């Protein structure tokens, strides 16, 4: 794993408002706030500050009160602002909270919302004319309150550049890992996801897990099949090969992937191959044809297209940002 050069950590502020859901606050602190000595880095990836509009804030359902936090002026030095959700979405946010969100965005810092935190961003006017998402249960309420927002209610998260919105509480983990991957590369994002025992990558365009009838017989876990495929990404695996390994038809496999992962077998396989290609680039492999072959992407041209689609960077740009500097070691 690359040893990053010493520099000031990226500063993250998390607004904890009255009635905020504890889970999303926990997601933010887990992803961005914990020390990660297992990475062997010279310093933390992020520096997290919890900030509140008052000295004590009651969390959702009054489970506990948040105290000992910074004030809302902490957002003024943040590189990223996280706005978690709360259930009382029709109750307006306080003017101090909305002002903190507006001025953070106005000076060019990145703004993230988790779950129904998108209501606060919309109320602050940040989402007018933009794509955004929120939890599917509150989609119609969101549309009624904020008709100028281009709501995408069936995806996990939406990246609109400096403003990113996650759907449900678990999708906050997806968005957070996506942000870490963009900031620090696939290698570090993968290490963080393994510590979380969470999928390293679910594309933001995947569908949310909305309510649906429970089948009479639950599908078998895809875990063994996924592990088998991840060990063979460089081989010419197809969806038919995955179905044969699982001893089911391709149609049945497709249904299981949609039900359990919210994506298709081909999209999952392609995503895993792109993630492997990024790790190879980070570890110092400069020959694109070799990276393409080892990751199963086939050709250098396909590799370039897939990496750019996933990361927004060409392979060479990705290498400059996340690859090993001269003489830096790689950890096993």
Torsion over CA: 17, 179, 197, 11 (sign): negative
pLDDT of the residue at 88: 83
Split at pLDDT 50, 70, 90, the class of 330 is very low
Q: Tell me the average pLDDT across 162-174.
A: 89
pLDDT of the residue at 6: 47
Instruction: Report whether pLDDT(219) > 60.
Output: no
Q: Tell me the average pLDDT across 80-103.
A: 92
| Whole-prediction pTM | 0.70
Instruction: Report whether pLDDT(331) > 50.
Output: no
Of 4-18, 169-183, 194-208, the range with the lowest mean pLDDT is 194-208
Torsion over CA: 118, 123, 125, 130 (sign): positive
Instruction: Report whether pLDDT(142) > 70.
Output: yes
- Show the tokens assigned to 133: 């998402």
Q: Tell me the average pLDDT across 194-205.
A: 59
3-state SS, one letter per residue, for the chain: CCCCCCCCCEEEEEECCCCCCHHHHHHHHHHHCCCCHHHCCCCCCEEEEEECCCCCEECHHHCCEECCCECHHHHHHCCEEEECCCCCCCCCCCHHHHHHHHHHHHCCCEEEECCCHHHHHHHCCCCCCCEECCCHHHHHHHHHHCCCCEECCCCCEEECCCEEEECCHHHHHHHHHHHHHHHHCHHHHHHHHHHHCCCCCCCCCCCCCCCCCCCCCCCCCCHHHHHHHHCCCCCCCCHHHHHHHHCCCHHHHHHHHHHHHCCCHHHHHHHHHHHHHHHHHHCCCCCHHHHHHHHCCCCHHHHHHHHHHHHCCCHHHHHHHHCCCCCCCCCC
pLDDT of the residue at 251: 93
- Show the tokens assigned to 160: 């609109």
Instruction: Report whether pLDDT(199) > 90.
Output: no
- Rounded Cα–Cα distance for residues 257 and 202 (Å): 12
282: which residues sit within 8 A by CB, 6+ positions away? 2, 185, 186, 187, 318, 319, 322, 323, 324
290 vs 154 pLDDT, higher one: 290
pLDDT of the residue at 69: 95
pLDDT of the residue at 38: 83
- Rounded Cα–Cα distance for residues 302 and 99 (Å): 45
79: which residues sit within 8 A by CB, 6+ positions away? 10, 11, 12, 109, 110
Split at pLDDT 50, 70, 90, the class of 2 is very low
Tens of pLDDT, residue by residue over 232-269, are 999 999 999 999 999 999 999 999 988 887 789 999 99
Tens of pLDDT, residue by residue over 261-309, are 778 999 999 989 998 999 899 888 889 999 999 999 999 999 999 998 8
Split at pLDDT 50, 70, 90, the class of 126 is very high
List the Cα angle 9/15/16 in 5-degree steps: 125
Instruction: Report whether pLDDT(200) > 80.
Output: no
Split at pLDDT 50, 70, 90, the class of 324 is low
Q: Tell me the average pLDDT across 170-196.
A: 87
């Amino acid at each position: 794993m690359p040893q990053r050069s010493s520099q000031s950590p990226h500063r993250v502020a998390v607004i904890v408002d009255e009635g905020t859901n504890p889970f999303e606050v926990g997601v933010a602190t887990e992803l961005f706030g914990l020390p990660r000595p297992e990475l062997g880095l010279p310093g933390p990836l992020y520096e997290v500050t919890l900030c509140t509009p008052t000295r004590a804030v009651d969390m959702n359902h009054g489970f506990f009160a948040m105290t000992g936090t910074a004030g809302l002026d902490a957002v003024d030095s943040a590189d990223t602002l996280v706005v978690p959700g709360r259930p009382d979405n029709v109750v307006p946010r306080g003017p101090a909270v909305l002002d903190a969100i507006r001025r953070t965005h106005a000076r060019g810092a990145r703004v993230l919302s988790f779950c129904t935190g998108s209501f606060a961003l919309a109320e602050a006017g940040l989402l007018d004319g933009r794509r955004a998402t929120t939890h599917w249960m509150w989609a119609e309420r969101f549309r009624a309150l904020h008709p100028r927002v281009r709501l995408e209610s069936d995806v996990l998260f939406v990246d609109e550049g400096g403003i990113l919105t996650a759907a449900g509480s678990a999708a906050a983990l997806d968005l957070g890992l996506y942000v870490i991957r963009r900031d620090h590369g696939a290698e570090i994002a993968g290490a963080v996801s393994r510590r979380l025992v969470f999928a390293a990558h679910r594309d933001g365009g995947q569908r949310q897990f909305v309510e649906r009838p429970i089948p009479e017989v639950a599908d078998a876990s895809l875990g063994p099949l996924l592990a088998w495929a991840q060990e063979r990404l460089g081989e010419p695996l197809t969806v038919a090969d995955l179905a044969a390994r699982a001893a089911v038809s391709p149609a049945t496999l497709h249904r299981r992937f949609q039900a359990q992962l919210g994506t298709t077998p081909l999209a999952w396989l392609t995503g895993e191959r792109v993630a492997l290609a990024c790790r190879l680039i980070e570890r110092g492999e400069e020959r694109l044809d070799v990276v393409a072959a080892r990751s199963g992407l086939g050709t250098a041209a396909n590799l370039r297209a897939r990496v750019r689609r996933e990361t927004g960077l060409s392979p060479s740009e990705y290498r400059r940002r996340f690859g090993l500097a001269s003489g830096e070691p790689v950890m096993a």
